[in-house]
Amino acid sequence: MTNGKFLRRALMVPAVLALGACCSDQDVVAPAPPPPAPVAAAPAVAPMGDVYFDFNRSALTPASQSQMKTNAAWLAANPNSNAILEGHCDERGTDEYNMALGERRAGAAKDYLVRLGVASSRLQTISYGEERPLDTGHNEAAWSKNRRVHFVEK
Amino acid sequence: MIENVMRIRKLMSLALSAVMLCMLFLPTSLKAEEAKEYIAIRKQGAGRIAIALDRTSAKGGKESDWAKNIDGNVKSGLDFSGLFNLMQAPVNMRSAQGGALNFAALNSVGAQIYAGGSVSRVGNRVGLDMEVYDALSGKQLMKKSYSADETQLRPMALQFCADLIELLTGKRSLIFGSKLAFVSSRTGFKEIYMSDFDGQNVVQLTSSKSISLTPAVSPDGHYIAWMDYTSGRPDLYIRNLATKTTVAVGKPGVSIAPAWRPGTNEVATTLSYEGDQEIYLISADGKIVRRVTRSPGIDVSPTFSPNGSQMAFVSARSGKPQVFIQDMQSGAARRLTYSGTYNTQPSWSPLGDKIAYSSLQKNGEINIFVINTDGSGLLQLTGGSRNEYPSWSPDGSMIVFTSTRQGKRKLFMMNADGTNQRALLQIDGEQQQPSWTRVK
């Protein structure tokens, strides 16, 4: 046997060992994988909130549009939840007309949510007229709180 | 000739009484001639009749109790009518037992009419003998006997009131057997109740423990319709008052403010299941008969003319809520109210010529107005607070309504011209949405 041949054979052992070492997980301290890019669903979604109306009107005001978008976003973020839209009126006016007006308010809010992409089947409307005021005061401060559509998770 | 007509009228009204009151009473003669004279003498709008009511005489403990009961009910019945100045007859009315009446004593207290009588036991029933005299001339106007079971003292007393009013005014009162349906929050929940025309004998009809609203009894007295939230939605219910069977209309959306159509067993109500608040006719078994209004926007609160051929209702079709009248056959609608910007809750008088309704005014008050069906003769009947939901008595002489003049919502009565406004019922909670039902 020549020295070269012996040397090649001798080197094979550590080479094999080194190979084996490279292929084994346990002793290798690999660098941590780079963190994945942030996923789009991460920020907390605001809960649904009420929208308000002018006296004897059922059209959504410009001021309510931002709240409606928030409500639509919540529904998008919670696909297993649905919503009941309750239409309410203040105590002025008469009960029967207010029962109809409350329903028109709930309907206007539902239509807007549908335009924002919420499935109509997820939205139920109900009117309470002036039967369930939030604020039982007898002034505009109370009345303005009662002219509303209230969103209830279902 | 005229006397024969009067006698026939009297006989017909007596027959009606017998039918209505299930043969309780045994009438004897009415003095038609004197009554006719008396009615002619009393001019239209003459003011209240000064009537002296004598204590009904009775022998025996039981009989005395009956007499007290009858006297109380006669007094409250005559008082309720608003036609009388009631006064107690002087104690020295009879000079001797069964002797002549002391008309001088009556004249000295200013009485125009005297009524008095006696109670006796007739077999196992109560007998009531009543006499009515013209105090000025001393002429007897009426002598009538009644008999009833002792549990029917109030209906018997009210029968006398009705006879007396017909005698003195020529008009048969439809009030004394009639009923009220209304909403009360007495239990903490809004439930449906009924009572006699004067608020006595209150009966609770629903126990929804929810919100029950706007009761309406059918003209034949067989059904009551109302709206409540027991299903989770505002739905219309129709109950057979005898069998207590109840059906629900069960359509999605709202159901608001039912009103029965005279001459039919159909009730009109607002439904929204086709996408807009429109008025529909529903049969007593809860099935949709047909759609009545076709107008975008709110159509609500129907009320019918006495023969059911026309319907007044509230519509926002011209912008703000106003009262319209629609012909049920042609479907043509015309606007009735032009004064004010928020007119709702119409109620058609059973006499056919007028509609009462409520108007939300600029100062925030709601008040009751009356208008002729041709749009003329607008008259404001109330002022000062929230006065709403007018409903006419079956003879069109009075209106029951809701008022907040004492703070909470309570039921009030007034004459058709707005006079004699007074509170009706004193029970706990708030009362609202009264509906005056016809005599069965």
Neighbours of B274 (CB within 10 A): 12
Identify from B229, B254, B278 which residue to disrupt to test chain A contact, counting A C-beta atoms within 10 A and taking the largest count. B254
> Which chain B residue has the Cα nearest residue A125?
B253
pLDDT digits 0-9 by tens, B86-122: 998 988 787 656 677 888 888 888 999 999 999 999 9
- How many C-beta neighbours within 10 Å does residue B285 have? 11
- Which one is predicted more confidently, B38 or B205? B205
Task: Please state the domain count of chain B.
Answer: 2
* pLDDT score, position B101: 86
Q: Hey, how many other C-beta atoms are within 10 angstroms of the C-beta on B326?
A: 21
Domain of residue B62, CATH code: 3.40.50.10070
Note whether B156 and B148 are within 8 A (CB): yes
What pLDDT is recorded for position B144? 97
Q: Is the pLDDT of residue B45 over 80?
A: no
Per-residue pLDDT at A24: 45
> For position A146, which CATH number holds?
3.30.1330.60
A100/B300 CB distance under 8 A: yes
Q: What is the mean pLDDT of residues B139-167?
A: 96
First to last CA, chain A: 87
Q: Is A13 part of a structural domain of the chain? A: no
From the list B223, B190, B220, the residue with the least C-alpha distance to B204 is B190
Cα(B243)–Cα(B223) distance, rounded to whole angstroms?
A: 10
- How many angstroms separate the CA atoms of B371 and B339, rounded? 11
Same domain assignment for residues B147 and B213: no
Binning pLDDT at 50, 70 and 90, where does residue B47 land?
Answer: confident
Residue found by looking up tokens 């094979």 in the block: A12
Q: How far is CA B8 from CA A118, B25, B358, in A?
A: 73, 19, 42
What percent of chain B is modeled with pLDDT above 70?
88
- Identify the weakest region by mean pLDDT among A30-34, B152-156, B305-309: A30-34
Residues A52-106: tens digit of each pLDDT: 999 999 999 999 999 999 999 999 999 999 999 999 999 999 999 999 999 999 9
Domain ranges, residue B122: 2-169
Residue type, B140: Q
- For B57-78, what is each residue's pLDDT tens digit? 999 999 999 999 999 999 999 9
Q: Given B214, B272, B314, which is nearest A97 (Cβ)?
A: B314
Token pair, residue B118, equals: 């006696």
Which CATH number goes with the domain that contains B185? 2.120.10.30
Which ipTM did the prediction report? 0.84
- State which residues form the domain around A71: 51-153
Partner A, chain B 180-199, Cβ-Cβ below 8 Å: 190
The total number of structural domains in chain A stands at 1
Does residue B165 have a pLDDT over 60?
A: yes
Q: Six-digit token pair at B400?
A: 């029951």
Question: Cβ(B61)–Cβ(B68) under 8 Å?
Answer: no
Question: Are B249 and B317 in the same domain?
Answer: yes
Distances (CA, A) of B127 to B20, B77, B121, B147: 19, 19, 6, 4
Angle between helices B61-81 and B153-169 (to 10 degrees): 40
> Is pLDDT larger for residue A41 or for residue B423?
B423
Question: With 0-12 CB in 10 A as exposed, 13-18 as middle and 19+ as buried, what is B308?
Answer: middle
For residue B426, name the pLDDT band (cuts at 50, 70, 90): confident
Residue B414, pLDDT > 70, answer yes
Same domain, B149 and B234: no
Answer yes or no: do B203 and B165 share one domain.
Answer: no
| Sole residue written with tokens 């209240």 | B48
Q: B103 Cβ partners below 8 Å, 6+ apart?
A: B114, B133, B135, B138
Q: Please, are residues B387 and B402 in contact by the beta-carbon 8 Å criterion?
A: yes
Q: Which of A5-14, A112-121, B6-15, B25-34 has the lowest mean pLDDT?
A: B25-34
CA-to-CA distance for B58 and A139, rounded, in angstroms?
59
Same domain, yes or no: B76 and B205? no
Q: B212 and B141 in one domain?
A: no
Structural domain contains residue A138: yes
Flag whether B174 is in a domain: no
Is residue B316 within 8 Å of residue B306, measured between CB atoms?
A: no
- Cβ of B342 within 8 Å of Cβ of A104? The answer is no
Please tell me whether residue B378 adopts helix, strand or coil conformation: coil
Q: Does a structural domain hold residue B71?
A: yes
CB contacts, 8 Å: B270 with chain A:
96, 100
pTM: 0.83
Q: Does residue B440 have a pLDDT over 50?
A: yes
Mean of pLDDT values over B163-190: 94
Among B169, B195, B227, identify where a domain stops: B169
In a domain, B411, yes or no: yes
Residues in B closer than 8 angstroms to A142, CB to CB, are none
Residue labelled with tokens 């043509």: B332
The answer to whether position B57 is within a domain reads yes
Of B190, B232, B298, the CB nearest to A97: B298
Q: CA A128, A120, A105 angle in degrees (round to 5)?
A: 30
Statement: residue B421 has pLDDT above 50: yes
Nearest to B32 by CA among B129, B138, B117, B144: B144
Please tell me the distance from the alpha carbon of residue B310 to that of residue B323, in angstroms, as a whole number: 13
Is the domain of B332 the same as that of B385? yes
Q: Is residue A43 part of a domain?
A: no
Q: Is residue A98 part of a domain?
A: yes
Interface test with B, best of A57, A95, A110, A143 (most B CBs within 10 A): A95
Cα B422-B425-B429 angle, rounded to 5 deg = 120
The mean pLDDT of B286-295, rounded to a whole number, is: 98
User: Can you give the pLDDT at residue B385?
Assistant: 93
Between the CA of residue A89 and those of A2, A150, B195, what are the distances in Å? 105, 11, 30
**Which residues from chain B sit within 8 angstroms of residue A103, using beta carbons?**
253-254, 272, 277
Residues B123 and B270 in one domain: no
What is the structure's pLDDT at B27?
A: 43
CB B311 within 8 A of CB B294: no
Q: How confident is the model at residue B402 (pLDDT cuts 50, 70, 90)?
A: very high
- Asked if residue A3 has pLDDT above 70, the reply is no
Identify the residue among A84, A88, A97, A114 best suited for mutation to test binding to B, counting B beta carbons within 10 A and taking the highest: A97
Q: What is the pLDDT at residue B69? A: 97
Select from B169, B194, B226 the last residue of a domain: B169
The sign of the dihedral angle between the CA atoms of B317, B322, B327, B328 is positive
Residue A88 falls inside a structural domain: yes
Domain match, B101 and B217 both? no
Size of interface A-B (CB pairs under 8 A): 62
Instruction: Please check whether residues B306 and B283 belong to one and the same domain.
Output: yes
| C-alpha span between A88 and A102 (Å, rounded) | 5
Contact at 8 Å (CB) between A78 and A70? Answer: no
Residue-wise pLDDT for B330-351, tens only, equals 999 999 999 999 999 999 999 9
At residue B41, does pLDDT exceed 90? Answer: no
Residues B66 and B212 in one domain: no
Residue A44 lies in a domain: no
Cα–Cα distance for residue pair A87/A52, rounded to 1 Å: 10
Using one digit for the tens of pLDDT, what is the confidence trace for B187-238?
A: 999 999 999 999 999 999 999 999 999 999 999 999 999 999 999 999 999 9
The 10s digit of each residue's pLDDT in A24-58 is: 444 556 666 666 665 555 567 899 999 999 999 99
Residues B158 and B211 in one domain: no
B172 or A50: whose pLDDT is higher?
A50
Closest CA relative to residue B312, chosen from B278, B357, B351, B277: B357
- Whole-number pLDDT of residue B50: 95
With an 8 Å Cβ cutoff, is A55 touching chain B? no
Characterize the bridge pairing of strands B49-53 and B113-122: parallel
Residues 104-143 of A with CB under 8 A from B: 104, 125-128, 131
CA–CA gap between residue B56 and residue B60 (Å, rounded): 13
Torsion of CA B202, B205, B210, B216, to 10 degrees: -90
